[in-house]
């Protein structure tokens, strides 16, 4: 009868149980090794959304609606695992969004109607962030787990509006934010993982400056805190582990 070889001393075994720092407490979830200490990882998260009024059942208040919108978000990242199942890294964010309303009429309770046409908006933003990621391995093979990110980032965006053949206006927004984003990860191969995560809480401070044909029109500064699920914050990623 052949016997399986035992792992050598000090050898990393994916899926092995990680001893908690406080062994006096009973943990509800066993944490298993899924990201060994000393590893590097680089990846890319992508989110794309496309909207067309011809395929929507939600604009019930709008008559004769003709509109379309799209959004693309790319977020390359790199991280280093400084401790088993704990990593720190940086990411770059790029977002491009655009929308166009060719025509729409809103009828509110039969007493008020409002019509708009040829309204367009485009937005481009770039930014960077540092994050700390904590994994919890679920299965004994070290293939599946959950994780959460603490993210501190900066974003600068420009949004431009135009109505018909008239002049356009735009706003420039600079934002510093702290976010919490949980997710799930799966390793189809030992050095490749796929993941999905979503930001569910965000605290930010932003400065927004509006411009028109005559120059600066006004500035608004303020704090904002929000929590909840927004599908536009959902991202899917592919990561290579080295």
- What is the token pair recorded at 165? 């053949």
Alpha-carbon distance of 135 to 35, in angstroms, equals: 7
- Which pLDDT band, with edges at 50, 70 and 90, does 52 fall under? low
| Domain ranges for the chain | 40-241
Average pLDDT over every residue of 162-179: 82
Residue 1, pLDDT score: 34
Whether the per-residue pLDDT at 134 is higher than 80: the answer is yes
Alpha-carbon distance of 187 to 201, in angstroms, equals: 27
- Rg of the chain over all Cα atoms, to the nearest angstrom: 24
CB 147 within 8 A of CB 185: yes
Whether the per-residue pLDDT at 62 is higher than 50: the answer is no
Burial of residue 156 (number of CB atoms within 10 Å: 0-12, 13-18, 19+): middle
Q: Report which of residues 84 and 215 the model is more confident about.
A: 84
Fold of domain 40-241: Porin (2.40.160)
> What one-character-per-residue DSSP string does 60-125 give?
TTEEEEEEEEEEEEEEEEEEEEEETTEEEEEEEEEEEEEEEEEEEEEEETTTEEEEEEEEEEEEEE
Whether the per-residue pLDDT at 7 is higher than 50: the answer is no
Residue 24, pLDDT score: 54
- Which pLDDT band, with edges at 50, 70 and 90, does 100 fall under? low
Residue 28, pLDDT score: 62
Task: Kindly report the pTM of this predicted structure.
Answer: 0.75
The winner for highest mean pLDDT among 4-8, 27-31, 213-217, 229-233 is 213-217
């Amino acid at each position: 009868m052949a016997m399986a070889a035992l792992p050598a001393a000090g050898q990393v075994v994916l899926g092995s149980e990680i001893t908690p720092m406080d062994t006096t407490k009973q943990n509800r979830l066993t944490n298993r090794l899924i990201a060994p200490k000393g590893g590097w990882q680089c990846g890319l998260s992508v989110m794309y959304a496309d909207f067309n009024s011809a395929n929507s059942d939600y604009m019930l208040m709008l008559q004769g609606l003709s509109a379309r919108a799209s959004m693309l978000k790319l977020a390359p990242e790199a991280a280093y695992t400084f401790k088993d199942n704990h990593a720190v890294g940086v990411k770059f964010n790029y977002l491009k969004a655009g929308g166009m309303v060719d025509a729409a009429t809103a009828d509110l309770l039969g007493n008020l109607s409002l019509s708009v046409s040829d309204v367009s908006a485009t937005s481009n933003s770039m930014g960077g962030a540092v994050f700390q990621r904590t994994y919890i391995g679920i299965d004994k093979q070290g293939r599946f787990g959950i994780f959460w990110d603490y993210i501190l980032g900066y974003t600068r965006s420009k949004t431009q509006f135009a109505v018909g053949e008239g002049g356009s206006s735009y706003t420039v927004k600079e934002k510093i934010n702290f976010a919490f984003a949980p997710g799930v990860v799966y390793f189809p191969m030992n050095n490749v993982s796929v993941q999905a995560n979503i930001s569910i809480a965000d605290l930010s401070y932003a400065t927004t400056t509006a411009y028109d044909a005559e120059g600066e029109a006004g500035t608004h500064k303020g704090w904002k805190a929000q929590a909840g699920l927004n599908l536009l914050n959902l991202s899917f990623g592919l990561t290579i582990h080295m």
